[in-house]
């Protein structure tokens, strides 16, 4: 539970229709039905979703990471465009990091479009640092990806950060438009 009107849960095959709809809205069809089915079936993949009973959009946001050795490789963070800027992206990143920490993973990494300042700013709020660049990474336009890393997920100070982030996110979500519908 993220707030009184928002629910975070692991996504299931029952959510595939909503997942594909959100993927199409946010990414224009980045992954296929089969791709998401593989994510749901894989023991090395965590796919989380945010739902609100007060929204006409069933799935407001989703995030996914793969467990690779002791690393969480974040593959997707998506928030429906109608609900961006209200803290849902922060809630998803927090939830992915908390899940990774609970799974005893040591680090988190992701790629982000070099031009996506909103996403870069979001990840920097969680202390991700730029570790490199993948030239021509995105096939649709040849854009570079920045490689971001966050280390020390098992350090005791990281638990303090998680608690601080959780409090800030819950406060923001309680004030958001999503909750006032």
Helix 156-175 vs helix 88-102: crossing angle, to nearest 10: 150
Angstrom distance (rounded) from CA 161 to CA 168:
11
Angstrom distance (rounded) from CA 23 to CA 69:
27
Alpha helices by DSSP H, listed for the chain, are 16-27, 33-41, 88-102, 117-125, 156-175
CA-CA-CA-CA torsion for 90, 51, 33, 140, nearest 10 degrees? Answer: -30
Please provide the distance, in angstroms rounded to a whole number, between the alpha carbons at the two ends of the chain: 17
User: Mind telling me the catalytic residues?
Assistant: 111, 123
Task: For residue 106, count CB atoms less than 10 angstroms from its CB and return exposed for 0-12, middle for 13-18, buried for 19 or more.
Answer: middle
């Amino acid at each position: 539970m993220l707030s009184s009107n928002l629910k975070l849960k692991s996504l299931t095959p029952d959510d595939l229709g909503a997942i594909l709809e959100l993927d199409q809205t946010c990414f224009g069809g980045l992954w296929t039905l089969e791709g998401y089915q593989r994510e749901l079936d894989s023991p090395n993949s965590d796919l989380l979703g945010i739902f609100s009973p007060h929204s006409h959009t069933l799935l407001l946001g989703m995030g996914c990471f793969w467990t690779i050795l002791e690393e969480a490789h974040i593959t997707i963070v998506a928030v429906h465009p109608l609900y961006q800027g209200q803290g849902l992206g922060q809630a998803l990143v927090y939830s992915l990091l908390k899940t990774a920490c609970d799974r005893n993973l040591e680090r988190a990494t992701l790629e982000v479009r070099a031009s996506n300042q909103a996403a870069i700013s979001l990840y920097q709020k969680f202390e991700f640092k730029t570790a490199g660049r993948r030239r021509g990474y995105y096939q649709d336009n040849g854009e570079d990806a920045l490689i971001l890393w966050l280390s020390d997920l098992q350090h005791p100070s990281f638990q303090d950060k998680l608690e601080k982030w959780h409090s800030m996110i819950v406060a923001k979500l309680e004030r958001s438009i999503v909750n006032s519908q």
